[in-house]
Amino acid sequence: MNTDDFQSGQSDECKHDRKDVLRIPGGLFIVFEGIDGTGKSTQVRLLAEKLRKLGYAVIQTREPTDSLYGQKIRELFTDRTSVSQDEELQLFIADRDQHVREVITPALSDGCIVVSDRYYLSTVAYQGANGMDPDMILKKNAVFPVPDLAFILEIKPAQGIERIQNQRNEHPNTFEEEANLLKVAEIFAAMEQDFIKRINGAGTIEDVHRQVIEKVAGLLARKTMNQGGN
């Protein structure tokens, strides 16, 4: 994937003058959530590639973004104590606000499919695990577009940490310590929104991808049917 597709406003394929892509009125907004090491990024890429092959205009994006807020957030991964819990929450919300205004909403208005690696359920789970009230966090995020579909990839925290260490050859950062991820996973597990689809992330990449495609195909079929009915 071209890294320019990230946070660069709209990628070329989403621009108005492109007549050769399939568009969906109002767009389609799909997000991937879960603890660290579940394989979200791989699944985001595979889904975006598949949808592009099918002819759709797709924006692949992620949070935290690469904006100034996103850069500040990444500094927290090594020293989380430099800000208060509330300041940490505000940083994620400010980053999202810019992401929604500059990337997500314009792309959806242009009928594109937006696939995001993390969105507001991550804030509910991670900043919730950091001591803020999950319901309060959810309310603060009510100003942002609700996704059509949120995949929560589920694995045991110990397995996520093992993947981070072995596959990425990285040390888990402060957000990724097991005790923290256990709390994060617990909050993800308690979420009940009807746009959530849980998938066991311990399966093979192909198996998870197959389940993702099955669900997205159903959603696309419904969207297309609704269009026909109008």
Strand stretches in 15-145, DSSP E = 28-34, 58-62, 113-117
According to the binding rule CB under 6 A, does residue 64 interact with ligand TYD? Answer: yes
180 binds ligand TYD (CB under 6 A): no
Binder of ligand TYD out of 7, 65, 122, 211 (CB under 6 A)? 122
CA-nearest of 147, 119, 149 to 212 is 149
Q: Does 6 bind ligand TYD (CB under 6 A)?
A: no
Query: Is 151 a residue that touches ligand TYD (CB under 6 A)?
Result: no
Residue nearest to ligand TYD (CB): 126
When asked if residue 39 is in the footprint of ligand TYD (CB under 6 A), the reply is no
C-alpha closest to that of 220 among 115, 148, 119, 144: 148
Closest by Cα among 47, 28, 49 to 145:
28
Question: What stretches of the chain adopt beta strand conformation (E)?
Answer: 28-34, 58-62, 113-117, 149-154, 196-200
Size of the site for ligand TYD (CB under 6 A): 12
Tokens for 217, please give them: 């195909």
CB under 6 A: which stretch of 21-29, 53-61, 121-129, 210-218 binds ligand TYD?
A: 121-129
Asked if 195 interacts with ligand TYD (CB under 6 A), we say no
In whole angstroms, the minimum distance from the beta carbon of 149 to ligand TYD comes to: 17
First to last CA, the chain: 36
Cβ proximity to ligand TYD: between 1 and 221 the closer is 1
Pairwise CA distance, residues 160 & 167, whole Å: 10
In angstroms, the CA 229 to CA 53 distance is 26
Show the tokens assigned to 219. 């959603």
Nearer CB in complex with ligand TYD: 53/171: 171
**Interface with ligand TYD by CB under 6 A: which range of 22-30, 119-127, 155-163, 198-206?**
119-127
Residues making contact with ligand TYD (CB under 6 A): 36, 63-64, 92, 117-118, 122-123, 126-127, 175-176
